[in-house]
Amino acid sequence: MVLVRSGELNALSPLFDKYHLRLYNFFLRLTKNQSISEDLVQSVFRRILTYRKTYNEQHKFRSWMYQIARNVHANYYRDNKLVISGFSEPEKIEYETDSAIEEMEKESRKRILYEAMDGLQTDQKEIIELSRFQGLKYREIAEITGLSETAVKVKAHRAINKLRELYFKLA
């Protein structure tokens, strides 16, 4: 990213390759919509380009990127509060083997989990997303959200237990 900041724009390509999948799924779980998620990923990288001069190498690129991603999602959320998006499942390849049943079970567990996540508050959803699915450390989440590490820990603890509760209500 330091290279990108100094004007070597091609250096952004490897960063895109590395992170776009995670970002896409980040947005996908929050918005439940594929094409919106693609747009939001695009917005993140557009902002990275626009604000490249403000990048501070004392922070990890990853933290900075998630900060931007959060803002992008917050803006989207603010502008589209009323839009209820239907979650259309992408086409899945059907397995003709024994694993088909297992696969179906896995799918249904996933669906329940996502449904349970809808029952969480936005900030709880976000913390689950960052700590669980994006695999970030509490310290890093603290940097991204501007909360203290302890606060993040407490929030994550409450969120995961709440999610567990909701999950078993639905299951």
Partner 1 sequence: MNCKYIQDLLIEYLEHNLNQEQANEVENHLISCENCRNEYQLAKQFLHTINDIEDEQPSANLSMNFNQLLEEEKENQRQESIQFTDQKENHYKFGEFLKYAAAILIIFGVGFLLGKNSPFTNDQSMMIASLQSDLNNMKQNLTMATLKQPTSSQRLKAVNILEKQDVADDKVLSVLVQTLQSDANVNVRMAAANALTKFAQHPLVRNAYLETLKNQKEPSIQITLINILIDIQENRAKILLEEIMKEDDNLPVVKEMAKEGIKVFV
Q: What is the DSSP string of 130-144?
A: IIIIS---HHHHHHH
Tell me: does residue 25 bind partner 1 (CB under 8 A): yes
Site track 108-147 with partner 1 (rule: CB under 8 A), x = hit: -xx-xx------------------xx--------------
Binding characters for partner 1, 45-74, by CB under 8 A (x = yes): xx--x-------------------------
In whole angstroms, how far apart are CA 125 and each of 115, 128, 152?
A: 11, 5, 13
Task: Give the contacts of 12 (CB within 8 A, at least 6 positions apart).
Answer: 1, 4, 45, 48, 49
6 binds partner 1 (CB under 8 A): no
The closest of 79, 91, 95 to 34, measured between CA atoms, is 91
Q: Where in 140-159 is the site for partner 1 (CB under 8 A)? A: 157
Q: Does residue 18 touch partner 1 according to CB under 8 A?
A: no
Residue closer to partner 1, measured from CB, 29 or 70? 29
